[in-house]
Amino acid sequence: MWEDVKSEYIMDTDEELIDRLSKIEELEDTLYKTKVKTADKLREYRKLLREEGRVENIIDEIKTEIGKVNPIEFKYKSVMQTSKEAVALIGDWHIGAKIDNFFGKYDMKIAQDRVNKLCDNTINYVEKFDVERLHVVNLGDMIENGAIHISTRVMQEEDSIRQIMYVSELLSTYLTKLSEVCHVEYYSTLDNHSRANAKFSDNIAKESFVYLIDWYIQERLKNNSRVTLNKNMIDDSIGYFETMGKKIMFTHGNFGKMNSSIQDLALGTGIIPDFVCMGHFHVPKMKDYHGKKLIVNGCLSGVSQYALDNRQFGTPSQTILLFEADNEINVQLKF
Q: Environment class of residue 222 by beta-carbon count within 10 Å: exposed (0-12), middle (13-18) or buried (19+)?
A: exposed
Residue finishing a domain among 25, 48, 68 = 68
Closest CA to 189 of 143, 137, 147: 137
Q: Are residues 27 and 170 in the same domain?
A: no
> Distance between CA atoms of 108 and 113, rounded to whole angstroms?
9
Task: Considering only residues 324 and 173, tell me which one the structure prediction assigns the higher pLDDT.
Answer: 173
Handedness of CA 228, 229, 235, 238 (dihedral sign): positive
Q: Are residues 255 and 119 in the same domain?
A: yes
Q: Which of 263, 272, 180 is nearest to 227 (CA)?
A: 180
Question: In this structure, are 218 and 320 located in the same domain?
Answer: yes
Residue 67 confidence (pLDDT) above 90: no
Low-confidence winner among 48-57, 141-150, 184-193, 311-320 (lowest mean pLDDT) = 48-57
**Claim to verify: residue 186 and residue 225 sit in the same structural domain:** yes
Segment holding 44, helix H or strand E:
helix 14-66
Radius of gyration, CA atoms only, the chain: 28
50 — pLDDT class (breaks 50, 70, 90)? low
Question: By CB neighbour count within 10 A (0-12 exposed, 13-18 middle, 19+ buried), where does 277 fall?
Answer: buried
Residue 38 and residue 129 in one domain: no
**Phi and psi for 265 in degrees, rounded to 5?**
-70, -40
Domain CATH for 156? 3.60.21.10
* Mean of pLDDT values over 19-25: 76
Distance CA 252, CA 192 (A): 8
pLDDT in tens, 275-299: 999 999 999 999 999 999 999 999 9
Query: CA dist 108 to 167, 216, 232, Å?
Result: 9, 19, 29
The Cα diameter of the chain in Å comes to 107
More confident residue, 159 or 105: 105
β-strands 275-278, 99-101 pairing? unpaired
Spatial neighbors of 88 by CB under 8 A, at least 6 apart, are: 122, 134, 135, 136, 137, 178, 318, 319, 320, 321
- Rounded CA separation 299/233 (Å): 26
* Residues 145 and 190: beta-carbon distance below 8 Å: no
The answer on 234 and 178 residing in a single domain is yes
Q: Residue 125: is its pLDDT beyond 90?
A: yes
Are 265 and 276 in contact, with CB atoms under 8 Å apart?
A: yes
Same domain, 56 and 129: no
Q: Which of 27, 47, 68 is the last residue of a domain?
A: 68
> In this structure, are residues 309 and 299 in contact, taking their beta carbons and an 8 Å threshold?
no
- pLDDT attached to residue 260: 92
Contacts of 8 (CB under 8 A, 6+ apart): none
pLDDT at 134 over 90: yes
- The rounded percent of the chain whose pLDDT value lies above 90 is 48
Task: Give the pLDDT band of residue 193 (cuts 50, 70, 90).
Answer: low
The pLDDT of residue 307 is 78
- When divided into structural domains, the chain yields a total of 2
**φ and ψ at 296, to 5 degrees?**
-105, 120
**DSSP 8-state secondary structure symbol assigned to residue 274:** S
Q: Are both 111 and 142 inside the same structural domain?
A: yes
Q: In terms of Cα–Cα distance, which of 257, 264, 164, 180 is closest to 216?
A: 164
Lowest mean pLDDT among 22-31, 239-248, 251-260: 22-31
| Same-domain check for residues 130 and 2 | no
- Which pLDDT score is estimated for 197? 52
Question: Domain range spanning residue 16?
Answer: 1-68
Residue range 89-111, pLDDT digits in tens: 999 999 988 899 999 999 999 99
